[in-house]
Chains A and B, each alone.
Chain A
Amino acid sequence: MSYTIAVASGKGGTGKTTVAGNLFHTFLKQGAKALLLDCDVEEPNAGLFFNTTLTSKIVVEQQLPEIVTSNCTFCGRCTEACAFNAILMVKSIAHIKVMPELCHSCGACIYACPEHGAIVEYPKTLGQVNSYEIRDFSSPGILEGELKIGEAMAVPVIKQVKKHASKLNHEFRIIDAPPGTSCPAMETIHNADYVILVAEPTPYGINDLKIMLQTALKMRLNVGVVINRSDKGSEELEQYLDENNVEVLMKIPFDKRIAAAYSEGNLLTEHIPEVEEKFRMLYHSLINKIRINATNNHR
């Protein structure tokens, strides 16, 4: 049984990767068998903070349909079946074409086609899953999804990262999620046991946190909040969380040392003792939640 903690936020740049990376480091230092998943496949950065060796690359492919015009009767059933308007047909000039950027590879066109061999599928690379070993720790390591530049579909890459993780032996899974509240973020967090939302107490940050919190609660997820750069305007945010019965897990004040360590790609838990202590407390409070959860489920 593994336990999944996803680190997410509506707004970008609030400190998701900082929290996920440092939390993962804390789990490792406590001797936990933890795996870090970077599901921010559009901009994967979590690996930058660790001393790693790339051990494998797995290509993520999408099956794209292609129409073999010599076998096609231009009956139009595939275009009707496609929910994404990804097949364009002009019968009068015998023209038919699949638009790859709109295709979700669902297979509905093939199911609808009455002919033999009029639609075939070929693989197209969407991205890859990179596995890293971490030097200095015996851990299952880091799995990083990477969307190929110019590709629009992040979700299949995220699914592959999660699928691959299930094959590795681990107790804890820490996920660095993509920003936002649409498909990539939802796919990443929907089956997490616990979600940490990282928020900053600026007007934009509070607005986005509210959206994200509604989303997570609609998904019936267990949620707690980390407030980053907590010194300015934090009261309004804390009051809102209090009114909605959401726990504040940790507050990280703005500190030039933190900004400097982050910008160099350094872990805070290695360079700033107060922050290291905060993450250790966060680790213990998460472990506690997991225990309580396990006992409740047992009953």
Chain B
Amino acid sequence: MQQITIVSGKGGTGKTSFTSAFAALSKDAVFADCDVDAANLYLTLNPENYHEEVFPGSKTAVIDQNRCTQCGICEAYCRFDAISSDSDGFHISEFSCEGCELCMKVCPHQAIYMEQSMDSRWFMGNTRFGPMVHAKLGVAEDLSGKLVTLVRDKARKLASENARHTILIDGPPGIGCPVIASITGTDKVVVVTEPSKSGLHDLERAVNLAKSFSLQLAVVINKYDINTSMARVLEKYCDANNITLLGKVPFNTVMVDAMVQQKSVVEYAPQSNVSREIRKIWKKIDSY
């Protein structure tokens, strides 16, 4: 079994459009959308979900005002500056609280309890190209790294049950917790970048992250003709760092048109210059 993760460092470079095109070209893959904060792959792959389950989310501390004697011990112990007081008493900010439960333990009056969020969900479904696992992180919810790990576990299970040999993972932007959870232990990492100063900066950080985990990686330059001289800088960067450049894809509005039609670009405009290049890239990914 091989696991291929599509990441970008910078957001909006075309990860999900590429993942859906690769999904259409794949022969025996399972698809995992690990961008659980802003999941979009389902909009193009349209899975028919046959399983839905709650993902127990993060816990947040809450003060029972009837029991609180305003001693302030909890505030002194909290390392996340989540507890503050005003004329109405002590309060815990649900956005700063990391759910460590220390305040609950130090409170001498048992005035603090934990509340667990039940807003996040994950799904298994069938798409026209194969099985898919995806998730929806609850509004203002924490723990996206754990949800990513769960999605990947379920995808692996589906792959072995269905005798499929590839897991195609749509990753989140950035280089932090959910990205690390998306790429650890994958066989191939494909970084989609764009020819801009920010694109280069973010590519370098994404490449260094993948290298620090000793992962095999390769690069795709999307919309390369928006700035051909920046695209050459990106090519040189790949060359100098011994990174496989899988291909350069031109800017073309068919990418967005395909998205509007809920299709991958290789289905919507198979003869376009974009689709021709993507088919070549997929062949290389499958074999590198």
List residues of chain A with CB under 8 Å of any chain B CB: 10-14, 17, 41-43, 45, 48, 81, 83-84, 101, 104-108, 111-112, 147, 149-155, 159, 178-187, 190, 200, 202-204, 207-208, 211-212, 214-215, 218-219, 232-233, 256, 259-260, 262-265
Contact = CB atoms under 8 A, between A and B. Distances in A.
B174 A178 contact: yes
B81 interface: yes
B95 to A, nearest CB: 4
B288 interface: no
A203 to B, nearest CB: 5
A187 B96 contact: yes
B139 A214 contact: yes
Given A211-B139, A263-B197, A81 B105 contact: yes
Contacts of A214: 139
A107 B79 contact: yes
B201 A204 contact: no
B205 interface: yes
Chain B contact residues: helix, strand, loop or mixed: loop
Nearest to A200: B12
Contacts of B173: 12-13, 42-43, 179-180
A43 B140 contact: no
A60 to B, nearest CB: 14
B176 A152 contact: yes
B177 A154 contact: yes
Nearest to A264: B197
B140 A215 contact: yes
A152 B209 CA distance: 11
B227 interface: yes
Contacts of B144: 180, 182-183
A218 B139 contact: yes
Interface in B86-110: 93, 95-96, 98-102, 105-106
A218 B144 CA distance: 19
Contacts of B38: 10-12, 179-181, 207-208, 211-212
A149 B177 contact: no
Contact of B176 (A106, A184, A264): A184
A48 B197 contact: yes
Contact of A108 (B11, B105, B177, B202): B105
A150 B212 contact: yes
A294 B12 CA distance: 36
A268 to B, nearest CB: 13
Nearest to B102: A108
B12 A12 contact: yes
A112 B177 contact: no
Given A43-B9, A190-B93, A204-B259, A182 B198 contact: no
A179 B176 CA distance: 12
Nearest to B106: A111
A204 B102 contact: no
A13 B93 CA distance: 29
A17 B202 CA distance: 13
A187 B100 CA distance: 16
A215 B175 CA distance: 23
Contacts of A260: 226-227
B102 A111 contact: yes
Closest 7 CB pairs of A and B: A12-B11, A13-B12, A106-B100, A265-B197, A42-B174, A180-B37, A263-B196
A232 B11 CA distance: 20
B79 A263 contact: no
B75 interface: no
Given A215-B139, A218-B140, A154 B176 contact: yes
Given A154-B177, A182-B141, 17 more contacts: A11-B11, A12-B8, A13-B10, A81-B102, A104-B100, A107-B102, A151-B176, A178-B174, A182-B178, A190-B95, A200-B12, A219-B140, A232-B256, A259-B227, A263-B227, A264-B197, A265-B196
A106 B98 contact: yes
A25 B262 CA distance: 38
A153 B180 CA distance: 11
B43 interface: yes
B196 A152 contact: no
A42 B143 CA distance: 17
Nearest to A45: B198
A137 B40 CA distance: 41
Contacts of A262: 196, 198
A107 B59 CA distance: 17
A202 B163 CA distance: 35
A265 B198 contact: yes
B12 A106 contact: no
B252 to A, nearest CB: 13
A263 B100 CA distance: 42
Contact of A149 (B16, B139, B178, B209): B209
A202 B43 CA distance: 11
A130 to B, nearest CB: 13
